[in-house]
């Protein structure tokens, strides 16, 4: 009897071991590319084969290599193939429709917001953006969306999230701005992202990291869309900015500053920020400082034009109209001078102000401001990956990196607007778009 029990238990505990002893064969994909820009900044290759296994690039070879037995072939012989694009400034829970957001603000639940985020993540992915940096979302929602995408439950780009933007009380990131006092006092009581003074700003950084932030963003200046008449000038003291940057860096987080006015930009650069987002009113001396320190500029050229249209159409509160006018008028000249001076440029759109899925319209604006098509593409691939601190993982098509790959018809180096119509999208080895059509996800 005892022997039978021992034998039964042995079989019971051995069964899972036997079931796990034969893992499934790795999935291999051969991509045949007619033209391959595997390393933006270098000359494209002709007919090439990208071999992908278990979500990563394992080899890039010249010519159309016959597939190994059991491998899948993706035929892009008539396409221009390049790395997946990276947008360093999006808001996945914003829709690009300010009037709709205002009307529905009091009726939406977190569940409603999450569905919006899922939809927007899919739109950005299908537009060719396989990685995004989300710079302002409710921490628990963006963390859940990020992790759902990473484990393959949701179709979307890789998300590097900041949680809520850190702001001084009454500043651009204070969620109580413009609310009637009964609502404003309730919001203030529950905000962890507002801070006043250096020590309080250190606490705010730690709070966002504790809620899952992978990057830190703070409002160094006023903003166009906040419903206050305080303009676009500096809102944080240099000591507050320095405390934020030092604390974030001590936790291994990079720092983005929302900055329009020159005084705020300069103070943030001196404090050691990694990226200046917007950079609307740049002087030549601040441009020189950014270049000498290697600070990245994320121009978000699409945002001021979108905000100006919305303001003039009466879709934004009256306090935002003069700010939108000022920002749109100054941004183009500032960005042109920064590009001409050789400041490091990384791609970002502020999508969420504009609609999701049209992120690639930024490329035409970048070229119009003086970048070459190759330079603009590099800004959205290798350079954006560098600004994120993930150059070893994404940004080019090389062995060991994630298989984040897109393809378009025509040559984007001759016409960069070709990137506005992406035909093929692969993220981490999974095909999400083929022949311009959405693919089933998860795949059957």
**Cα 344 → chain centroid:** 17
Residue numbers in the chain where pLDDT is lower than 70: 1-25, 96-106, 172-191, 224-231, 319-320, 323, 443-444
Strands 158-161 and 129-134: parallel
Residues 282, 337: Cα–Cα separation, whole Å: 8
Concatenating the DSSP letter of every residue in 275-318 gives EEEE--S--HHHHHHHHHHT-EEE--THHHHHHHHHHHTT-S-G
Cis-peptide into 442, omega within 30 deg: yes
Helix (H, G, I), strand (E, B) or coil at 179: coil
The confidence score (pLDDT) of residue 8 equals: 47
The confidence score (pLDDT) of residue 435 equals: 96
DSSP H helices, 219-372, are 238-250, 262-271, 284-293, 302-312, 321-341, 361-368
Residues 163, 216: Cα–Cα separation, whole Å: 8
The token pair at 54 is 């278990």
The confidence score (pLDDT) of residue 343 equals: 98
The confidence score (pLDDT) of residue 329 equals: 79
Residues 289, 392: Cα–Cα separation, whole Å: 27
Helix (H, G, I), strand (E, B) or coil at 425: strand
The confidence score (pLDDT) of residue 362 equals: 98
CATH class, range 28-84+398-438: mainly beta
Each domain of the chain, given as residue ranges in start order, spans 28-84+398-438, 85-388
- For domain 85-388, which CATH number applies: 3.20.20.140, 3.10.50.30, 3.40.50.2300, 1.20.1560.10? 3.20.20.140
pLDDT tens, 31-66?
Answer: 999 999 999 999 999 999 999 999 999 999 999 999
* Residue whose C-alpha is closest to residue 147's, from 121, 170, 129: 121
The confidence score (pLDDT) of residue 22 equals: 54
């Amino acid at each position: 009897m005892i022997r039978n029990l021992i034998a039964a238990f042995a079989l019971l505990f051995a069964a899972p071991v036997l079931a796990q002893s034969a893992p499934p064969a790795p999935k291999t994909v051969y991509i045949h590319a007619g033209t391959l820009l595997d390393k933006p900044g270098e000359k494209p290759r002709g007919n090439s084969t990208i071999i992908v296994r278990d979500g990563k690039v394992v080899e890039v070879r010249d010519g159309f290599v016959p597939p190994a037995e059991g491998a899948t072939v993706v035929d892009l012989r008539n396409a221009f193939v390049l790395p997946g694009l990276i947008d360093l400034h999006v808001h996945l829970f914003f829709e690009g429709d300010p009037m709709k957001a205002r009307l529905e603000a009091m009726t939406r639940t977190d569940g409603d917001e999450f569905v919006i985020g899922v939809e927007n993540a899919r739109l950005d992915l299908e537009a060719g953006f396989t990685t995004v940096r989300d710079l302002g979302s409710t921490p628990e929602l963006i963390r859940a969306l990020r992790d759902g995408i990473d484990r393959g439950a949701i179709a979307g780009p890789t998300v590097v999230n900041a949680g809520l933007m850190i702001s001084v009380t009454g500043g651009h990131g204070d969620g109580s701005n413009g609310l009637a006092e009964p609502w404003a006092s309730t919001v203030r009581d529950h905000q962890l992202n507002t801070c006043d003074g250096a020590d309080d700003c250190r606490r705010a950084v730690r709070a966002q990291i504790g809620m899952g932030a992978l990057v830190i963003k703070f409002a160094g200046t006023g903003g166009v869309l906040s419903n206050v008449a305080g303009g676009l000038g500096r809102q944080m003291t240099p000591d507050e900015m320095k405390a934020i940057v030092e604390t974030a860096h001590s936790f291994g987080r990079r720092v983005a500053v929302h900055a329009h006015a020159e005084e705020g930009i300069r103070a943030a650069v001196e404090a050691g920020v990694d990226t200046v987002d917007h950079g609307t009113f740049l002087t030549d001396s601040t441009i020189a400082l950014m270049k000498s320190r290697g600070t990245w500029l994320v121009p978000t050229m699409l945002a001021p034009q979108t905000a100006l249209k919305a303001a003039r159409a009466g879709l934004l509160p009256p306090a935002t109209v003069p700010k939108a006018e000022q920002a749109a008028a100054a941004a183009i000249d500032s960005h042109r001078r920064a590009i001409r001076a050789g400041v490091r440029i990384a791609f970002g759109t502020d999508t969420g102000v504009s609609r999701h899925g049209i992120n690639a319209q930024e490329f035409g604006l970048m070229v119009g401001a003086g970048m070459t098509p190759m330079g603009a593409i590099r800004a959205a691939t290798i350079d954006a990956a560098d600004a994120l601190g993930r150059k070893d993982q994404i940004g080019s098509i090389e062995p060991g990196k994630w298989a984040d790959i897109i393809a378009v018809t025509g040559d984007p180096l001759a016409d960069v607007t070709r990137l506005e119509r992406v035909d093929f999208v692969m993220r981490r080895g999974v095909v999400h778009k083929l022949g311009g059509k959405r693919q089933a996800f998860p795949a059957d």
